[in-house]
Amino acid sequence: MDFSVLNEALASKSFNKIADICDNLMLQVAAEGVPFRDEWPFAIHLLGHIYIDDINSARFLWKSIPPAIKESQPEVVAAWKIGQKLWTRDYAGVYEAIRGFDWTQQTQVLVAAFSELYTKRMFELLQSAYSTISIQDAAQFLGMSEEDASNCKHAHLCLCREVSYYFTIFRCIA
Amino acid sequence: MNSVEGLVNQIQGLSTTASDVLSLQNLLKQADDSLHAESTRLLPFLDQLDPSKHSLGYLYFLEACTAGPVTKEQAGSYVLMIARFITSCIAEQIRLAPDKFITVCKRFKDQVLLLEEPLRGVAPMLTAIRKLQSSSEHLTALHPEFLLLCLLSRCYKAGLSILEEDVFEVDQPRDLFLFCYYGGMISIGKKWFRKALELLHNVVTAPMSTVNAIAVEAFKKYILVSLIHHGQSPTNLPKYASSVAQRNLKNLCQPYIELANSYSNGKIADIETYVEANKDKFESDNNLGLVKQAVSSMYKRNIQRLTQTYLTLSLQDIANRVQLNSPKEAEMHVLQMIKDGEIYATINQKDGMVRFLEDPEQYKTCEMIEHIDSSIQRLMTLSKKLNGVDELMSCDPLYLLKAGRERQRFDFDDFDNVPQRFNI
Q: In order along chain B (424 residues), what is the average pLDDT of each group of 10 residues?
A: 77 82 86 84 84 88 87 87 91 90 93 91 94 91 95 90 89 92 94 94 92 93 94 84 89 91 87 92 92 90 90 92 89 91 90 89 88 94 93 87 76 68 56
- For residues B28 and B91, membership in a common domain is answered with yes
Of A2-16, A123-137, B32-46, B139-153, highest mean pLDDT: B139-153
My answer on whether B199 and B296 are in the same domain is yes
How many Cβ atoms from other residues are within 10 Å of residue B176's Cβ?
20
Residue B121 is part of a domain; what is its CATH number? 1.25.40
Nearest residue on chain A to B154, alpha-carbon basis: A60
User: Do A166 and B349 lie within an 8 Å CB cutoff?
Assistant: yes
Determine, for residues A56 and B336 on separate chains, whether the beta-carbon distance falls below 8 Å.
no
Residues B343 and B379 in one domain: no
From the CB of residue A139, how many other CB atoms can be counted at a distance below 10 Å?
18
One domain for residues B292 and B325: no
Interchain contact, B124 vs A31, CB within 8 Å = yes
Residues B25 and B80 in one domain: yes
Give the H or E element holding residue A143: none
- List C-alpha distances in Å: B2 to B7, B9, B35: 8, 11, 12
Nearest C-alpha in B relative to A121: B339
* Contact yes or no for A57 and B157 at CB 8 A: yes
Helix (H, G, I), strand (E, B) or coil at A65: coil
In chain B, which residue's Cα lies nearest the Cα of A137?
A: B349
A33 vs B contacts (CB less than 8 Å): 76, 79-80, 83, 120
pLDDT in the model for residue B73: 86
- Chain B hits for A55, CB-CB cut-off 8 Å, are none
Asked whether residue B253 is assigned to any structural domain, the reply reads yes
A125·B350 Cβ contact <8 A: no
| Closest of B153, B241, B255, B150 to residue B200, by C-alpha | B241
Closest alpha carbon within chain B to A36: B120
Is B155 in contact with A130 (Cβ distance < 8 A)? Answer: no
Tell me if B416 is assigned to some domain. Answer: no
Contact B348 A130 (CB under 8 A): yes
User: Looking at the structure, do residues B69 and B162 belong to the same domain, yes or no?
Assistant: yes
- Rounded to 5 degrees, φ, ψ at B346 are -130, 145
CB neighbourhood size of A114 (10 A) = 20
B350 contacts A166? CB cut-off 8 A:
yes
Domain, as residue range, for B41: 1-171
**Is B275 within the bounds of a domain?**
yes
pLDDT at position A163: 43
Return the SS3 of A169: strand
Task: Looking at the structure, tell me whether residues B135 and B239 fall in a common domain.
Answer: no
Where are the alpha helices (H) located in B266-412, listed in sequence order? 268-277, 279-284, 288-309, 315-322, 327-339, 366-394, 397-405
| B243 and B97 within one domain | no
Q: Please give the average per-residue pLDDT across A46-62, as a whole number.
A: 93
Residues B257, B117 within the same domain: no
pLDDT value, residue B166: 87
B286 and B386 in a common domain = no
Domain-located, residue A143? no
Is residue B271 one of the residues assigned to a domain?
Answer: yes
Q: Is residue A77 part of a domain?
A: yes
Kindly state whether residue B422 falls inside one of the protein's structural domains: no
Q: Do B120 and B206 reside in the same domain of the chain?
A: no
Does A170 reside within a domain?
A: no
**Which ranges of B66-141 would DSSP assign to H, the alpha helix?**
72-88, 91-94, 98-114, 118-132
Question: Which residue in B84, B112, B120 has the most chain A C-beta atoms within 10 A of its own C-beta, making it the best mutation to test that interface?
Answer: B120
Interface of B with A (CB under 8 A): 76, 79-80, 83, 87, 117, 119-124, 153-158, 189-191, 332, 334-336, 338-339, 345-351, 355
B418: in domain: no
| Cβ within 8 Å, pair B83-A23 | no
CB contact under 8 A, B119 and A27: yes
Least Cα separation, residue B157 to chain A (angstroms): 8
Q: Which whole number is the average pLDDT over A27-53?
A: 90
- Domains in chain A, number: 1
Q: Which residues, 6 or more positions from A110, have their beta carbon under 8 angstroms from its beta carbon? A: A10, A15, A18, A44, A47, A48, A51
Residue A174 is predicted with a pLDDT of 34
Q: Work out how many CB contacts closer than 8 A connect A with B.
A: 79
Look up the ipTM and state it.
0.84
Q: Is residue B176 part of a domain?
A: no
B81 and B159: one domain? yes
Q: Please, which residues bridge with residue B356 across strands?
A: B345
Contacts of B339 in chain A (CB under 8 A): 125, 129
- Total domains present in chain B: 4
Distance of CA A25 to the CA centre of its chain: 22
CB-facing half-sphere around the CA of B179: CA atoms within 13 A: 24
Separation of alpha carbons B50 and B31, rounded Å? 19
Mean pLDDT across A119-134: 86
Best B300, B334, B347, B350 residue to mutate vs chain A (most A CBs within 10 Å): B350
Show the domain range for A17.
4-103
Separation between Cα atoms, residue B341 and residue B334, nearest integer Å: 10
- Predicted structure pTM score: 0.88
For residue range A145-173, what is the model confidence (pLDDT) as tens digits? 777 766 654 444 444 544 445 666 654 43
In a domain, A43, yes or no: yes
Q: Looking at chain B, which residue has its C-alpha nearest residue A136?
A: B349
Structural domain includes residue B362: no
